[in-house]
Structures are given as C-alpha cells and as structure tokens.
Structure 1
Amino acid sequence: MRIVDVNEFYSPTGGGVRTYLDRKMGIMADLGHELIVIAPGFEDGVEDRPGGGRIFWVKAPRLPFDRSYGLYWQDAPIVRLLDQLDPDVVETSSPWRPAWTVGAWQGRALKIFFAHNDNMAAYAGRWLEGVADLPTVERWLAFYTRYMGRFLRHFDAFVTNGPALAKRHERRGLHVDAAMPLGIDRGFFSPDLRDESLRVALLGQCGLPADGKLLLGVGRHHPEKRWPTVIDAVECAGERMPIGLMLLGYGVDHQKLAARVAESPHIRLFRPVYDRLRFARIMASADALIHGSDAEPFGLVALEAVASGLPLIVPNEGGAAEIAEPPFAETYAPRDARSCAAAIARLFAREPRVLRAASLAAADKVRTDQDHAVALIDYYSGLIAGKAARRAAGGA
C-alpha cells in the first residue's frame, strides 16, 4: 500500500510531527508499505529516508512568526505530485488549503482527513477562557465546525489520533469514522532505566534532599501547556511536603516562566533533552509526570511516562486524561492550581509500593507506534475493500 500524506506541519527543521512521520515511514517500510510525505519546504526537492519513505518538498511561503513552517498557496504542485505518485491512500491533517486540494483531487485513492490537533480548543478556547467555557465558545464558533463539515464531505473517512479529539468533534456535531490512538517507540522507554543516583542528583539541582519528591514536566513553553498553573500547584503542595519540579522545554513563554520561577527554590527550567536515551533515563528516574494542558488531543508525553513506570498527575480533560487510569494516576480540574495541588498531595499520600506496582503493570501495556501503524493499515485496507465492492456493485 502506498500512502501519501499532504502535510503542512512537517518542518524541514524538526518538530513533533516530523518525529512522528519519520518513525512511521520506517515502520511502514518494515511492514511492506510505503509512506510518502508532501511538505512545504524552502525549495522544491526530494529526500529519500534511510529506513524507507520519501519527502517531496514543495516550495511555499513561510509563516511570518516561525519560518520553520510553511503554508501552501497553490493547488497545482500538490495535484501534480498526487497524479504522479498515484497513491492508494492520501491523508491530510490541515483544515486549510490542503483539505480542499485533497478533497477536490480526482485520483483513485482513498481520501482520509486525519485530525491531529484541535484549533478551536487550542486557540479560541484559550483566548476566550476568561469570557466563557469551552462548550459556549464552541457554540459561538459553530461556523468553524460547519466549515469543516463542508470539506469533510469530499473525504472517505474522518479519523482522529485518539478518543479525546473524536469526542470533541462529535460533541460539535461532526461524524468521526474512527479514533486511531497513536503509540510510542517502546525501544527507548522502560522502568528499567530508573537510576536512584540520578534521581538524587536531580533533586539536588532542585535544592532538595533524597527524601524529596521529584516531579517532571515536559513540553513547549507555550500558553497552551498551562505551566503557570502547574508551577502554582507545585508551590502550593510544596508548603506541606518537599517537592521539586523540573520543566524540560523551551518556547515563546520561556522568559515569562523564567521570571516566574526565579524566586522558587525548588523549581528549575531546563532546555529540551534531545538525546533520547538520556531523556528516557531522566523520565524513568522521576517520581511522577505532571502535565498542564487540557487542549492536547493526544498525550504522547504522558504515554512515554507510563512506559517509563511513572505515575501521572494530569487534567481530567484532553488527551492525557484518556491515558490516566486510577491505579497509577490522579487528575484535577483544568486550569485550577488548587485542584492540581490536591492531586499532587493525593498521589504522594498513596502507599509507594502499591503505586509503583500499578505503574509497572501499566508500563507493560503501553501502545507502541507499530501497534498504531498496523491498526491503521488494517483500517485502510478495510475501507479500500469496501470502496472496491461498492464500485463493483455499481455504487459510489
């Protein structure tokens, strides 16, 4: 099977979407399939991936606020490539021009709109949160849902990257054909990487002794991640117990966060750790992962933490909430620092051996990225067979 992904979020310089798709290309090749990405680049060009797959770069204007990313302005280059590549399946995840370009393309391929993000929750819901709750904002912005409905009519299926995003779209009135949860590369993450001496050293960097509790937060320094809520909660909980917080990340809010924690004795900001093995060791050596975002549709970081044997402290809405099960997690009301602080206290009040046993049991069951790829191929194969049967019977 040849799959072509017309993707506006695949950057020449890196990022989460690129990491996901590069890994997916290799897995698809191992399974005997081919994944090709058409992405906006600085120049036209083609790249072969060593593990399998190709990137077709289409020269496109850059975003003014982040030149790592581009936006398609013309249909013709994409249509020419789709005609040339003749895929069995064509995917896109951008609700802007690619949705209409792919939807109007006249090729034989199965057309899939694969939603990986939620613009309404991540942007409008956050901008207007002081005015109204998310369901109200969704009603106010029903025109955006209607807009999506218009281009979705041209696709064979509407797929999301997990149940959280499927529930949101269905609540807004759209029909989701399948929720296909993502997975992680289990080759990096394991409870066996836990290193007590590393944990003690990290606590020391937070100004705490070995009997302190080490919380880990991972993600961009961006308003969507809600790090101020997490920081307030850790400071509140820290009034009753010794708690350190390490935040790994960087982004537009870095200076604000740095100023916010400057007087906090037990909270430290660190740049992202790109060495995967080192990152996995740090993750396995913390005492819990704490997360602030309720807008993310899928909690990849939370899944990596579970695979590392970590308990979770996450909002009770969003992608991470779908992963958090009571035996190894505590949840809290989104954007509520006091609720988050109470969740921290509840988690660390548990019997440590029971919590550790539950976390280790959960680590063995984490979905892998290969599981995701196999399920996706099976789903697409079924859709292709159904479409062929309808054509043979004289249907659409």
Structure 2
Amino acid sequence: MKIVDVCAFLSPHGGGVKTYIEQKLAIGPRLGHQIVIIAPGDRDAVVERAPGARVVYLASPRFPLDRKYWYFDDETRLHAAISAEAPDFVEASSPWRSASMVGRWSGPAPRALVMHADPLSAYAYRWFGALLSREAIDRRFEMFWEHLRELGQAFDRVVCASGELQSRLAEGGVANTSLHPMGVEPGLFLPERRNPQVRRELLEVCDLPEEAHLLIAVGRLSPEKRWPMVIDAVAAASRSLPIGLVMLGAGRQKRRILAQIAGNPHIRLLTPERNRVRFATLLASADALIHGCEAETFCMAAAEARACGVPVIVPDRGGAADHARGGAGVTYEAGNAQSAAQAIEALFAGPPRESGPLETVTMEDHFARLFAEYAMIVGTGRSGV
C-alpha cells in the first residue's frame, strides 16, 4: 500500500510524534509499504528518507503558541497534495483542525485518525479536575466531544494506543475506535543493558550511596507532565527511604522545575540523552521509572522501561497505567503527590522485584498489525463510514 500520513505536529526538535514518524519511515518500507509524510514547514520541500519513504513539506505559518511547530492554513492546497500522491490509505496524526481537513478530502482512499494527543486529559481534566467531575467537565466541553464524534464518522478508524483512551472515546459516542498499542525500538531496550557502574554514578550525582534507591524520570518539561508533583512525591518518600531521582528532559518549564527541586541534592535535572544506546543503558540501570502525566496516549518511556525489566510508578489514568499491569509496577491516584509518594514507598518497601520474562512488543509488531488492518479496510471499501 501507499500510505500518506498528514502530520500537522512534526518538529525537528524531537517529541513522541517525531519518534513515531521516524520509525514509520524506517519500518513501513521493510513491511512492503510506501510511506509519505505530508507536514507543514517553513518552505516547500521534498526529503527522500529511503527507498519508499519521504517527507513532503508544505510552506506554512509557525504555530503561535509554540514556534517549534507549524500548522496547515490552506485546505485546498493540502487536499491537492494528498491527491497528487494517489494514496491507498490516508492517516491524520492530530485530532485538531488538520484532521477535519483530511476528513473533508474528497478522494476515495480510506483513512484513519491516529490519536497522538488526548486534549481532554492534557488540558480540560487537568485544569478543572480539582473542581469538577469528569462527567461535568465533559458536559462543558460538549463542543469538542461533538468534534470528535464528527471525526469518528469521517474516518474509517480512530486509532488509540491505550485501552483507557479507546474506551473513553467509544463511551463518548466516537465511532470506529480501534486499539493498537505501540511498541519499543527493537533490540535496544533490554534488561541486559543494566549496568551497576552506571547506577553507582547516577546515585553519586544524587549525592547518595550505592545502597540507595534510584528513580529515573523521562519527558518534556511541560505542564501536563506534572513534574512538580513528581518532585514533591519523591521528596516526601525520601523522608523514610534513601531515594535519588534523575530527570532527563528539556522544555519551557525548566525554571519552574529547578525552583521546585530547590537545591535538593538527591534530585537532579539532566539534559535529554540523545544517544539511544546510552539512554537505554541509563533506563535499564534505574530501580524504577516514575511518571506524572495521566494524559499519555501510550507512554513510550514506561514501555521502554518495562522492556528493560524496570518497574514503573505511574498514574492510574491514561496510557501510562497500562504498563503497570500484571505486576509490572504500581499506580497512584493521578495528580496526587501524597498517593505517588505512597506508591514509591510500597514499591521499595519489599524485596527487589525480579523482572521475569518479558513480552516485548516492538514498533515493527505495531506497524505490522496496524497496516494489516488498513489493508483489510482497503480490501472491503469504505462502506462503514
């Protein structure tokens, strides 16, 4: 198949969408498919990535709220770019305005919306959750729910990477939802990468001895990640246990997070590790990963930790919660620092956890299953839309 992905939020500066697209460009041709990404950028350009994989950039304005991104502002031109590719299948990678544009494209190819974002959890539930129930918040955001329902009718599939997101969308009346959990990069995140020397060095950075517990946290320094809450939880748990926290991240909340750390020698904020082997080694050498965001659509960091045999401490809502199931970690009440501290204490109170045999889903597994469903839709036509 020729698969065209209209990806409105592709930034050269990184992020989960970029990681996903990079792997799609690499894996799709190996599975026998042609992959074309249509993305907004500063100028028109075509970048050949490999035989059967390329990125088509359409000159577009910068996104005013985050200038690392651009946005499609010309629907007619976007439709022309899709039609010029004569795709067998079309994807949209954002539930915002670009998805509506793709839904209105008049071409015959079936299409899927891949939910790389959960705006209700990232914004509405986080902003108003302390005051209102989710049901009350949903009623106040009925206009957005109606938008999602319209997308469910316009797309043959609304692809979700977590069971919680799929269930919530389906219960909210969004049609054609489909569950396709993502996976990790094959051959990289392995328990064998655990390195006692690396662990000792990280604990030394946290001014702690080898006998202490080592937590790692990974992700953008943005409000929805709730890093201040994570820092408070670790500080509280540290009153009864020797715990070091190493955070790997960059973003606009750096100053706020450093203020939250407030000179605590046992909590260190480091820059992201771009070397993937080194990153996998750091992850595998920790005693647990802690995460604060309940708005994850999958939570790649938690999946990578589990592939390394590292338990996770995650909120009980959102995609991160999936990775704690089956004894793979512990959950806490989303957004609650005291509950998170208790989860840390519970994890470390007993004997060290053995990772045991792991069933690791790779991104190749994910794309093989997803593209097989696309091929089935192509074969049966769009009668369900």
Indicate whether the TM-score tops 0.5: yes
Q: 1:95 to 1:331 in 2, by over 3 A?
A: closer
For 1:67, the aligned partner's letter is R
Give the match's secondary structure for 1:56. Answer: strand
Shift, 1:222, TM fit: 1.2
**Among 342, 352, 370, which residue is 1:376 paired with?**
370
TM-score normalised according to structure 2 size: 0.96
- Distance between the aligned counterparts of 2:258 and 2:378, measured in 1? 51
* % identical aligned pairs: 40
Q: Secondary structure at the match of 2:114?
A: strand
Give, in angstroms, the shift of residue 51 of structure 1: 6.1
Q: Note the residue ranges of structure 1 that are not aligned, 5 or more in a row.
A: none
Q: 1:102 maps to what in 2?
A: 102
Q: Distance in 2 between matches of 1:311 and 1:95?
A: 31
Instruction: Verify: 1:184 aligned to 2:184, yes or no.
Output: yes
Match of 2:289 in 1: 289
What residue in structure 2 maps to residue 196 of structure 1? 196
Question: Aligned-pair distance for 1:2?
Answer: 0.4
Indicate how the Cα distance of structure 1 residues 204 and 51 shifts in structure 2: closer, same or farther if over 3 A, else same: farther
2:254 is the alignment partner of 1:254: yes
Whole-angstrom CA distance in 1 between matches of 2:12 and 2:186: 25
| Contact 1:299–1:319, Cα closer than 8 Å, also in 2 | yes
Aligned to 1:234: 234
| Compared CA separation, residues 179 and 47, structure 1 to 2 (3 A) | same
Give 1:326 deviation, angstroms: 4.1
Q: 2:381 aligns with which of 359, 372, 387?
A: 387
Give the letter for the 1:383 counterpart.
I
Residue pair 2:193, 2:280 contacting (<8 A) in 1 also: yes
Q: After superposition, give the CA deviation of every residue in 1:76-102 in whole Å (9 maximum; x if it has no partner).
A: 221111221110000103233322222
Question: Distance in 2 between the 1:225 and 1:99 partners?
Answer: 25
* Residue range with higher mean Cα deviation, 369-378 or 12-21: 12-21
- 1:132 maps to which residue? 132
2:80 partner amino acid: R
Q: Distance in 2 between matches of 1:266 and 1:21?
A: 36
Give the equivalent residue in structure 1 for 2:279.
Answer: 279
Q: Cα 1:321–1:328, aligned 2, differ >3 Å: closer, same or farther? A: same
User: Does the aligned pair in 2 maintain the 1:40–1:59 contact within 8 Å?
Assistant: yes
Query: How far is 1:52 from its partner?
Result: 4.0
Is the contact between residue 41 and residue 70 of structure 1 (CA under 8 Å) also seen in structure 2?
Answer: yes
Q: Which amino acid aligns with 1:221?
A: L
Q: How far apart, CA to CA, are the structure 2 residues paired with 1:175 and 1:106?
A: 20
Aligned: 1:366 with 2:366: no
CA–CA separation in structure 2 for the residues paired with 1:135 and 1:237: 33
Q: CA RMSD in A?
A: 1.7
Q: Name the amino acid aligned to 1:381.
A: A
Q: Take 1:344 and 1:304, find their aligned partners in 2: how far apart are those partners?
A: 19
The one-letter code sitting in structure 1 at the alignment partner of 2:174 is: L
Distance 1:292 1:47, change over 3 A: same
Distance 1:314 1:14, change over 3 A: closer
Shift of 1:66: 2.1
Q: How many residues are paired up?
A: 385
Kindly indicate whether the alpha-carbon contact (under 8 Å) linking 1:217 and 1:246 is maintained by their aligned counterparts in 2: yes
CA contact (8 A) 2:198 2:282 kept: yes
Classify 1:175/1:151 alpha carbon distance in 2 versus 1 (closer, same or farther; 3 Å): closer
Query: Is the Cα contact below 8 Å between 1:11 and 1:40 reproduced in 2?
Result: no
Deviations 1:176-201 (A, max 9, x none): 43111111102221111111011011
Shift of 1:333: 0.6
Aligned partners of 1:228 and 1:257 also within 8 Å? yes
Equivalent residues of 1:10, 1:18 under 8 A apart: yes
Which shows bigger deviation, 167-176 or 77-86?
Answer: 167-176
Aligned to 1:39, the other structure's residue is in SS state strand
Query: 1:260 and 1:11 mapped to 2: Cα distance?
Result: 28
Matching residue of 1:69: 69
What SS does the aligned partner of 2:50 have? Answer: coil
Report which stretch shifted further, 314-323 or 104-113.
104-113
- Partner secondary structure for residue 154 of structure 2: coil
Separation of aligned partners in 2, 1:377 and 1:113? 13
1:347 corresponds to = 347
Query: Structure 2: how far apart are the matches of 1:213 and 1:204?
Result: 12
Indicate the residue corresponding to 2:299 in structure 1: 299
Amino acid aligned to 2:381: K
Unaligned runs of 5+ in 2: none
**C-alpha separation in 2, matches of 1:376 and 1:72:** 26
1:331 aligns with 2:331: yes
Separation in 2, partners of 1:273, 1:135:
40
Deviation at 1:265, TM superposition (A): 2.5
Deviation at 1:337, TM superposition (A): 1.3
Larger RCO (CA under 8 A, 6+ residues apart): 2
Stretches (4+) displaced over 3 A: none
Deviation at 1:234, TM superposition (A): 0.9
Alpha carbons of 1:59 and 1:374: their partners in 2 closer, same or farther (altered >3 Å)? same
Which stretch of structure 1 is more off in the superposition, 230-239 or 131-140? Answer: 131-140
3-state SS of 1:38 partner:
strand
Looking at structure 1, the residues matched to 157 and 285 of structure 2 have their Cα atoms a distance apart, in angstroms, of: 41
